[in-house]
Amino acid sequence: MGILAGLGSRLPSYGRSIPAWLSRRRRSGKAEGFWRPLAFFLGVVAIYAVTQTHYDYLAQYMFFTHRAQHLVLHHAAPFLIALAAPLPVLAAGVPNQMKGFPGRAIAVRILWPLYRLLQHPVVAPMLFVGLIYFWLIPEVHFDAMLSRQLYQVMNWSMMLDGLLFWWLMLDPRTPERLGYGTRIVVLLAVVPPQIFLGAYLTFSKYELFDVYAVCGRAWPLAPLADQQLGGLITWIPATMMSVLGVLIVIRYLLGENRWQALSLQ
């Protein structure tokens, strides 16, 4: 909450101050502020921790550790990275050789329509929730946990989709196609499907994912207890991320209204 409070204290001029902030950084060579770099750093470290350490091994042999891994990849880490709004600084750090890459214009023309489609206010929440459901289809989950290539596709797809979704929700600017009110509606719309899925996993009387019995669990935990813990992780912290997102968007909205009121004085 300290990160949110620190970011929130500058929200009235947040969206409009990015170019000035970036120009000051370019002149001084120093990054201003503390909370935004910290949020970005924590997001990147969290992704590293659940994919490039021994934790990734545990995520393949326990269902609840797997769900915690996807909570980080799909919710918490992308949330922090999007909250940091790092694109201006990252863009400023792109080497000139890459900026002048001959195929850049062609790549932009090809990828931009796809990006706009994925960021559509109807497509984005459906994809956000749909990927969670898709990778938890027992047959699909079984294959993904036994195939190294498919396992990587699963994790990468969750992380990239999380970055796209939370950037759309937490972008400090106000795109004409997605105002603050629409963002709140989208954030609330993804809550019920996650609650339903988490509750189903938690209260199911049957073991749904037998891949962990086939490969063996890292710890001697009863299958249903493992599944119930995974269901609670899918249910409670994941939906709370949407609540935090709504609070931040409301803060953006209040800051926007305050800025407009000051400009009229």
Give the tens place of pLDDT for each residue, 78-119.
Answer: 999 999 988 777 777 677 766 666 666 777 788 888 888 999
Q: What are the start-end ranges of the H helices in 171-222? A: 180-189, 191-203, 211-215
DSSP code for 207 = -
Mean of pLDDT over the chain: 84
- Lowest mean per-residue pLDDT among 112-116, 138-142, 179-183, 235-239: 112-116
* Residue 250: CB atoms within 10 Å: 13
Choose between 224 and 109: higher pLDDT.
Answer: 224
Percent of all residues in the chain with a pLDDT value above 70, rounded to a whole number: 79
pLDDT given at position 253: 85
pLDDT given at position 174: 63
Q: Is the model's pLDDT at 2 over the cut of 50? A: no
Tokens linked to 226: 């493992």
pLDDT digits (tens, 9 = 90+) for 9-58: 444 343 443 444 344 444 445 555 788 899 999 999 999 999 999 999 99
Region 152-168 average pLDDT: 96
Question: How many alpha carbons fall within 13 Å on the CB side of residue 18?
Answer: 17
pLDDT given at position 139: 96
Among candidate residues 8, 91, 77, the one with its CA nearest the CA of residue 39 = 77
205-212 contacts, C-beta under 8 A, 24 or more apart: 208/138, 209/63, 209/138, 209/141, 209/142, 210/138, 210/142, 211/141, 211/142, 211/145, 211/146, 212/61, 212/62, 212/63, 212/145
pLDDT given at position 90: 75
Distance CA 50, CA 53 (A): 6
Q: What are the start-end ranges of the H helices in 29-147? A: 35-51, 55-59, 63-71, 77-84, 87-92, 96-99, 104-118, 123-135, 138-146
Distance CA 79, CA 71 (A): 11
169-172 contacts, C-beta under 8 A, 24 or more apart: 169/82, 169/245, 169/249, 170/79, 170/82, 170/83, 170/85, 170/245, 170/248, 170/249, 171/82, 171/85, 172/11, 172/14, 172/15, 172/18, 172/85, 172/252
pLDDT given at position 17: 39
Stated pTM of the model: 0.82
Distance CA 118, CA 215 (A): 36
- Lowest mean per-residue pLDDT among 64-68, 97-101, 124-128: 97-101
pLDDT given at position 14: 39
pLDDT given at position 156: 97
